Structures are given as structure tokens and as C-alpha cells.
Amino acid sequence: MFRREALEGAATRLHGRIILPAHLGHHLLTALYGSVAVAIVLILAFGSVTKKAVLQGAVMPAGGVVRIVAPATGIIVSDGIAQGERVRRGAALFHILSAQRDMDEQNPNANVGRLLIDRRASLQQDRERLLRLTTEKDAALGRRVTEFKAEELQIEDQIALQRSRVRLLEDSLKRTQNLVAANFLSPAQADTQLAQLIEQKQRLTELLRARSQTQREQAEGLAERTQLQIQAQRDEASISRSISSLEQETEENRSRKGASVVSPLDGVLATLMVSPGQHVTAGTVVAAMVGTDITFEAELYAPSRSVGFLQPGLPVLLRYQSFPHQKFGQYRGKILDVATTALRPEDYQANGLPAPASADMLYRVRVTLESQAVQAYGKSAPLQAGMALEATVVLEDRKIYEWILDPIFSMTGRL
């Protein structure tokens, strides 16, 4: 249709293809943007976000702390025992003086304590005397019953012999009577044997009466022993009630004058919660003690906003205030258990904690320690009960893409 020349003329152009100039800056920007994109992808794929909780706490013995309470109301007087010292069981920690003491010293009956002690000693003597007399009487009655029992056995033997005699006389009398009836013997001989039989039967009756008498004596002796035990128990109960009443009066009198607070065990005075001159009421926690040769653990106190994610086995990083972590590092541990109930207000003082500033309650968290000592200047410094510490608990460690896709995971039920 078209001539070849026409087609060749249409294909011929007066200009070539457009070529854009490529500068070095364009290549650099392209490489930079590509690197940023790759970095973002790598961060999303391998990067993670860690959720942590910082908790306060203290080093505590694994076996717990023995809390010592004031036995009376009064003013603390120190006996020279300082916090952290080792004490023996029964050692006086401090004394509590009562304000009632001065009034008692001016009272004419100020020796009431001595009178109570004398009365108690007298009652104790009465108890010992009662026990001694009861034992002696019971032993005498026992011997008496034994003697009557032996006498009864002898009478039984005599009764057996006497019955044999009576049977023999009865048989002999029958034979004699038969001979008298046959006119072989005179009736006088039969009468003589009859008199002997009557005499022996009377003797048997006396023996039976004697046996009954010994049996009655035995029964009376056993009854007296029973009555003696009952009366002794009544007297013992009466004396015990009197002694208990005196002990209560003595305790009340002692509490009016004051009381000593002593160590209940061999151990270390971990915490002193009172100072000399301080007024305390009966039942107030005044000190805390721990035993010797024990294993320590960390006791953390978590607010309610953090306790929901805490669970046994989570790793913990511990920083002891006595050993700054910038110089001595951090120490590892694992959560052992988490309390399910919050601390009561009275527990704060018992654990040496200040009352929380906010209304947020605290929960106790126990942490096992990998090390029972701190390495300081090339030496091993053992942990001490009550050492304050700060801990970081890793609550959750998730990839960045998991956080981004969290709504989808939540809908599907995957964590």
C-alpha cells in the first residue's frame, strides 16, 4: 500500500533518545534509602522490647525473721545490745520501765511482789506435802488391802479343811446311827458325835463370817484408795488454781513495774525498731532477729500495678545499696514465689518498711539468690540480714513485630 521509500522516510528522525545524566549524589541517596529500609526490616524482625519493673526490698533469711514484741507498756531502756550483734538465747536486749513503777515505789504495799512470791512458795510446799501424804496414805491402804487379801486366802484354806471335817463327821454320825439302830452301839455315842458335828459346823460358820469380814475390809480399803485419789485430785486442782491466780497477779505486778525483753534464740539482732527513751505499748514489734548459719534470700515488695506480671522463675537483677552497682556490679536471682495477698499496714513496721505514700498496696515477692556474698575489692563480703536492695525484674521480652501485631494476636488468643 505504501512505497518503501515513504516508510523509510517516516522512520527517519532528526533527534536520538533522551538520556538523563546520572550524578553521584543520586546513587548515594538510593543506597542510603535502601540501607534504611533493610535496617527497618531487620529491626522489626530481630529487635525486641523489654518490659521491666524496678522493685525495692531487703535481704532476709530464708527461714524467716523472728519478730519480738513488747511484753508490757512503758519506756525503752537499752541494755547495750546494738543492731547486728550476735546474742545468745535468753540474753536481755532491753528493759521496759512502766510509769506505774514510781507510784508503786511510794506505795506502802510496794512489797506486794515479794508477798506474791512467798504465797506461791507456800502453795508449792502445800502441793508437795499433799503429794507426799497422798502417796503415804495410798501405800498404807495398798498394804492393808494386800494383808486382807492374804488373810482371805488363809481363811479360804481353813474353810476348805473345815468343810472336810464336817463331811467326815456327818458320814461318821450316819454310820454310828445305823449301828445304834442295830443295837450294836449305845445312843450316847451317837449323841457325842452329833455334838462334835454341831461344834464343827459352828466353827465353819465362824470362818465364813471371818471371810466376809475380810472381803468387806478389802472393799473398804479399795474405796478409801479411790476416794483418796479423788480428794487428792480436787486438792491438787484447787492448789493449781491458786497458783495460776498468783502467777497472773505476779505478771500484772511485774508489768506495772516493767519487763525485760530477752532473746528467744541464738542469732543476730537484725533490726531494732525502737530507741532508748521511746514509749511503746504491749504487743508492739520492737525488734527482729534471725538465726545463725542460715541462707539468705531477697524479699521484694511489688506494687499492685506490677504484681500481675510477676511469676516464679522470672530472672531478677539485684543491686545492693551497701555495694553500689556502678562499682561492684549487679547480681542475679530468680523469683521463688509471689504473695497472693497484700501486706497489712502493721506489716510495714514489722518488716522495717516505711508506710507507702500512695494508696497502692504492696505484695511480698521472694527471690532466690545465685550468690550469698558480694565480691568487693577481691574479697567475698557475706550478705547481712536487712540489707536494702533494688531489683529489676524482666516482666516481658517481645519482638517488635509482635508488639505491632499484638492486636491480631490478641484476637486469635496468641500471646
Structural contact between residues 60 and 289, judged by C-beta atoms closer than 8 angstroms: no
- Phi and psi at residue 104, in whole multiples of 5°? -65, -35
Q: Looking at the predicted structure, is the pLDDT value of residue 310 above 50?
A: yes
Cβ atoms within 10 A of the Cβ of 326, count? 8
- CA–CA distance, 259 with 150 (Å, rounded to integer): 62
Check residue 79 and give its pLDDT: 65
Question: pLDDT band for position 172 (50/70/90)?
Answer: confident
- CA–CA distance, 101 with 113 (Å, rounded to integer): 12
- The H-assigned helical ranges of 65-111 are 100-105
- CA–CA distance, 386 with 288 (Å, rounded to integer): 10
Check residue 386 and give its pLDDT: 75
Cβ atoms within 10 A of the Cβ of 172, count? 14
**Using H for helix, E for strand and C for coil, what is the string for 363-391?**
EEEEEEECCCEEEECCEEEECCCCCEEEE
- CA–CA distance, 226 with 142 (Å, rounded to integer): 11
- CA–CA distance, 319 with 392 (Å, rounded to integer): 8
Percent helix, strand and coil across the chain, each to the nearest 5: 50, 25, 25
Residue 161 in grid coordinates:
479343811
How confident is the model over 140-157, as a mean pLDDT? 88
Q: Looking at the predicted structure, is the pLDDT value of residue 398 above 90?
A: no
Question: pLDDT band for position 367 (50/70/90)?
Answer: very high
- CA–CA distance, 387 with 376 (Å, rounded to integer): 16
- CA–CA distance, 178 with 184 (Å, rounded to integer): 9
Residue 275 in grid coordinates:
530507741
Considering only residues 136 and 277, tell me which one the structure prediction assigns the higher pLDDT: 136
What domains does the chain contain, in order, with CATH numbers? Answer: 51-65+292-412 (2.40.30.170), 112-254 (1.10.287.1490)
Cβ atoms within 10 A of the Cβ of 214, count? 19
Q: Looking at the predicted structure, is the pLDDT value of residue 402 above 70?
A: no
- CA–CA distance, 366 with 165 (Å, rounded to integer): 95
Average pLDDT value for the chain: 78
- pLDDT tens digits, one per residue of 78-120: 766 777 788 888 787 877 776 554 444 444 445 555 676 778 7
Residues 6+ apart with CB under 8 A from 298: 57, 58, 59, 60, 316, 318, 333, 366, 367, 369, 389, 391
Structural contact between residues 370 and 296, judged by C-beta atoms closer than 8 angstroms: no
- pLDDT tens digits, one per residue of 1-33: 556 665 665 555 555 566 656 566 666 777 777
Check residue 183 and give its pLDDT: 81
Q: Looking at the predicted structure, is the pLDDT value of residue 259 above 50?
A: yes
Q: pLDDT over 70 for what percent of the chain?
A: 75
- CA–CA distance, 381 with 270 (Å, rounded to integer): 17
Comparing CA positions, the residue from 228, 310, 286, 293 lying closest to residue 63 is 293
- pLDDT tens digits, one per residue of 177-191: 888 888 877 888 888
Question: pLDDT band for position 61 (50/70/90)?
Answer: confident
